[in-house]
Structure 1
Amino acid sequence: MTDDHDIALDCEGLLCPLPVLRARKRLAAMRPGQILRLTATDRMAAIDLPHFCAEAGHTFLDATETGPVTTYRIRRGP
């Protein structure tokens, strides 16, 4: 574990809806409160991931853009 996440998931190069589908699968295997760090290049992930979190009960923490890659952090819900 690092200080800003528990699990990392690389979704670079994947198009919608694959980043959300992979995030859902990974989050399902995590314990409540753990943080998933997901990296993606698909711009739709900026819309899809917060919406998914709101619907599924997870907490969308933040998004950081570095060139073509955006890093998202999600805290697994109960």
Structure 2
Amino acid sequence: MPETDSLPTAGVIYDLKGLKCPLPVLKTRKRMLTLAPGALITIETTDPLAVIDIPHFCNEDGHTLAQSEALATGHRFTIRKKA
């Protein structure tokens, strides 16, 4: 059966709604330490600066930003931890 959904799915969803910069990145960095290499995590945030901060965090730390999605209430990011 062909795969109909090409978007990555994360086993971990981390709700960071209501937190302001720099807390979403700081909490994401701390949570990433507990994940196995290659694991996916989805971050949900209402911080408008997250669209800049999360991609920058991924780039600086070597993680892959697998998906970025605008939501009515904020943003959702799926990150793959570096191997």
Q: TM-score, normalised by structure 2?
A: 0.86
Structure 1 residue corresponding to 2:27, chosen from 19, 22, 31: 22
- Aligned CA RMSD, in angstroms, stands at 1.1
Identity among equivalent pairs (%): 38
Question: Which runs of 4 or more aligned residues in structure 1 lie more than 6 Å from their structure 2 counterparts after TM superposition?
Answer: none
Among 16, 35, 39, which residue is 1:34 paired with?
39
- Match for residue 51 of structure 2 among 46, 49, 56: 46
Give the Å deviation of 1:25: 0.7
- 1:17 deviation in Å? 0.4
Match of 1:63 in 2: 68
Letter in structure 2 aligned against 1:21: L
Unaligned runs of 5+ in 1: none
**Structure 2 residues not aligned, in runs of 5+:** 1-7
The number of residues matched between the two structures is: 76
TM-score normalized with structure 1 length: 0.92
Shift of 1:48: 0.4
Mapped contact 2:48–2:74 kept (Cα < 8 A):
no
Which of 9, 16, 27 in structure 2 is aligned with 1:11? 16
Looking at CA atoms only, which structure, 1 or 2, has the larger radius of gyration? 2
